[in-house]
Amino acid sequence: MFLEIKDLSVKIENKNILKSLNLDINKGEVHAIMGPNGSGKSTLANVLAGKEDYEILNGRINFKDNDLFDLNIEERAQEGMFLAFQYPVEIPGVNITPFLHSAINSKRKRMNEEEIDNLSFAKLLKSKASDLGINIDMLKRSVNTGFSGGEKKRYEILQMSILNPDLAILDETDSGLDIDALKIVTDGVNKLKTKDNSFLIITHYQKLLDYIKPDYVHVMVNGSIVKSGGSEIAAEIEKDGFQKFQ
Amino acid sequence: MNIQDNYLNNKKNIFFSDNKDIQTHRDKLINIFENDRFDKKNNESLKNINLKNFIDFKYKYLIPEETSVINNNQENSYSIVSVNGQCSSFKDDQIEITKILEEDYNDFSKNDTIENNDHFVNLNSLFLNSGFKIVIKKNNNIKIKISNIITDDNLTIFQKNNYICEEGSSLNLIEEYENKNNSTSNILNVIKLEKNSQLNHFLIQDNSPNHNLIITTHSSCKKDSTYTQKVYNFSEGYVRNFHYSELIEANSEVDLQGIFFIKDNNTTNNKTFVKHLAEDCKSNQVYKGILNDRSKATYFSNTHVDQVAQKTEGYQLSKGILLSENASYFSKPELKIYADDVKCSHGSTIGPIDENAIFYLRSRGMSKIAATKILISSFINEELSSIDNEQMSEIIQKKLVRYLSKVK
């Protein structure tokens, strides 16, 4: 099993968010989690990425034969986990290019791979940016600073394509995107899909899933997965909403 | 020992003690010390310090045998080593350096912007034992680097320097303070910018924990002149940077910037005070601090716009990062505006490092310590990237790397 979440319960500030949640993802699979506001979707994404604000009450998570709780935030990233943020953080003064260069080399170092030099990295970045329709001038700017909502999401996908993760978690990547931007972003994701990597896509709407075809769709309500199945569930939700699952 | 006894016992070593006018002025200052209750709440020069430590000092001053070196190593470029506050005389077509004179003292003592309220300036006037005057002659464009050296332990340097930029001149001034002695330097720089002159003043402060550095600057700008001060404080000992500025004629500008990096139990106190006394003038006051461990800092910024100073632009900004729960930074911006056609603003943001930004960077594979360091560097990136002097930029970068290497 690539990612195995067993009986996971999590709280924050005395509020239980995830309740005995179970989820298995195999290599090469695309899973979508849909759910109403406040159901715990983003909490799950943050817990997987290692955000330290949460208290783990119960359960375990295995990722690529590692106990995930043994790994800190950066070790998870270096092991191949990637979270595309719902609200990417603006970091004025931190230039995109050296930041991403440093990020890719930290992963390579952990994998005992040779570090990528400046020139090769510049070429890689330019080519990936071009694929995503990102202007080269944008790469001279500070991380997410002064970006529009769409630019931020596109830049998340650029980072993902550079870091080439084994498991990518997309936390409401479709929110705030117009239809053209959504297409560019989802095209970027589809290009990255291989039999060796997996995706966990968190969304409210079926629209995103029209572009990225999931193998499994899960409905999350009140901190637990209440139903799992195929794409037909997304269509069901689009038609009837989440009411019937609550 | 009280201040009067200290003064009387050492009178023979103190500059200008035979001058009657100066003696009268000093009697007045002694009275202030004897009668002042040292109201910490209302006097910004007393915040976070134990004045007793600075008043009950043992007066000791050493006259250097070799006073200084002046080297016109490149055209328009001078290098000065000021030893125990002294600098030997020098004169050429572009600059003139002399010892501080009685008339310079009198000139300053008549200025009531600082007088009486700032006890460190009063101490400086009372115990004056060193200083020099540099005149940049009309229409010259020059660079000066001054290394300020203290030769012995237990020295107390009370130094007044006078800089005059004559009409149309331009000065790029770098001052280095890197002292390891157990000593105190109390320095007052009085800067006068004549019409259409410019002074870019960089101060690099990197003293050991035993050295106290108190620098007060007073600048006055005439028509179309610009004064820029950039202070980089990496000191492990106490540092006080106070600046009083007056824009006295139209279309003059002052830009006062400071960055301090402090740690352990160290303290730094900072103040910028700009008086707009003429129309169409601009001022900018920006101080940023990074504080670790149990360190403390204050920053008082003040813009005063006189009623004649229409079309004033005055900006103030204070920002701080607290790397420890035990560090503290007190910032107090003030605006007093008596003209009606002005653009002024002030802001202050102090807090711990942004945890969301740390999480974001770590989620891309960067270690916590690397993420912290990159965020500290980014916090001051704007100020560092605006340094247009390559030599300065290299020096600051090296010191920043050293400070960051100790951040955990």
> B347-357: per-residue pLDDT in tens?
999 999 999 99
Residue B362, chain A, CB below 8 Å: the answer is: yes
| Closest Cα in chain A to B354 | A91
The parts of chain A modelled with pLDDT lower than 70 are none
Contact B314, B280 (CB under 8 A): no
B116 pLDDT more than 60: no
Mutation for B interface: A91, A104, A152, most B CBs within 10 A: A91
**pLDDT, tens digit, 9 for 90 and up, residues B146-199:** 999 999 998 999 999 999 999 999 999 999 999 999 999 999 999 999 999 999
Question: B122: helix, coil or strand?
Answer: helix
Q: Which of A239, A189, A246, A194 is closest to A32 using CA atoms?
A: A189
The C-alpha of B207 sits at a distance from chain A's nearest C-alpha, in angstroms, of 28
**Cβ B365–A107 below 8 Å, yes or no?**
yes
The minimal CB distance from A93 to the residues B360, B361, B381 is found for B381
Closest chain B CA to residue A156? B364
SS3 B134: strand
Q: What is the value of pTM for the model shown?
A: 0.88
Percentage of chain B with pLDDT > 70? 96
The answer to whether residue B370 neighbours chain A at the CB level (below 8 Å) is yes
Kindly state the helix (H) or strand (E) to which residue A205 belongs, with its residue range: none
Question: How many whole angstroms separate alpha carbon B297 and alpha carbon B396?
Answer: 20
CB-CB neighbors (< 8 A) of B357 in chain A:
89, 91
Asked if B283 contacts B245 with a C-beta cutoff of 8 angstroms, the reply is yes
**pLDDT tens column, A99-152:** 999 999 999 999 999 999 999 999 999 999 998 888 888 888 999 998 988 889
Give the pLDDT mean for B402-406: 90
A142–B378 C-beta distance less than 8 A:
yes
Selected for mutation to probe chain B from A12, A94, A108, A166 (highest B CB count within 10 Å) is: A94
Which pLDDT belongs to residue B57?
A: 82
Dig out the tokens for B46 from the structure: 């007393």
**Domains along chain A?**
3-245 (3.40.50.300)
Is pLDDT of B95 > 80? Answer: yes
Residues 6+ apart with CB under 8 A from B140: B76, B93, B94, B95, B169, B170
Residues of chain A contacting residue B367, judged by C-beta atoms under 8 Å apart: 74, 106
In A, minimum Cα distance to B381 occurs at: A93
What pLDDT is recorded for position A204? Answer: 85
- For B259, other C-beta atoms within 10 Å of its C-beta total 21
- Nearest-CA distance from A235 to chain B in Å? 33
CA–CA gap between residue B389 and residue B166 (Å, rounded): 23
Q: Which residues pair with A42 in a beta bridge?
A: none
What's the gap in Å between the CA of A84 and the closest CA on chain B? 10
Query: How high is the pLDDT of residue B43?
Result: 75
B357 touches chain A (CB under 8 A): yes
Sign of the CA dihedral running A114, A119, A125, A127 = negative
CB-facing half-sphere around the CA of B161: CA atoms within 13 A: 24
Q: What are phi and psi of A191, to 5 degrees?
A: -65, -30
pLDDT confidence of residue B174: 95
Under the banding of pLDDT at 50, 70 and 90, the label for residue B113 is: low
Query: How far, in whole angstroms, is CA B40 from its chain's centroid?
Result: 21
Strand partners, B95: B136
Which residues 6+ apart lie within 8 Å of A167 measured at CB? Answer: A2, A3, A25, A63, A80, A81, A82, A197, A198, A199, A200
The alpha carbon of residue A51 is apart from the nearest alpha carbon of chain B, in Å, by 7
pLDDT at position B72: 73
- List the single residue in B with minimal CA-CA distance to A74: B365
Q: What is the pLDDT of residue B1?
A: 60
Tokens 């730094």, residue located? B268
Q: Which residues of A touch B (CB under 8 A)?
A: 49-52, 72-74, 76-78, 82-83, 85, 88-89, 91-94, 99-100, 102-104, 106-107, 110, 142-143, 159, 163
Of the pLDDT bands very low, low, confident and very high (cuts 50, 70, 90), residue B37 is: low
The domain limits of chain B are 3-353, 354-408
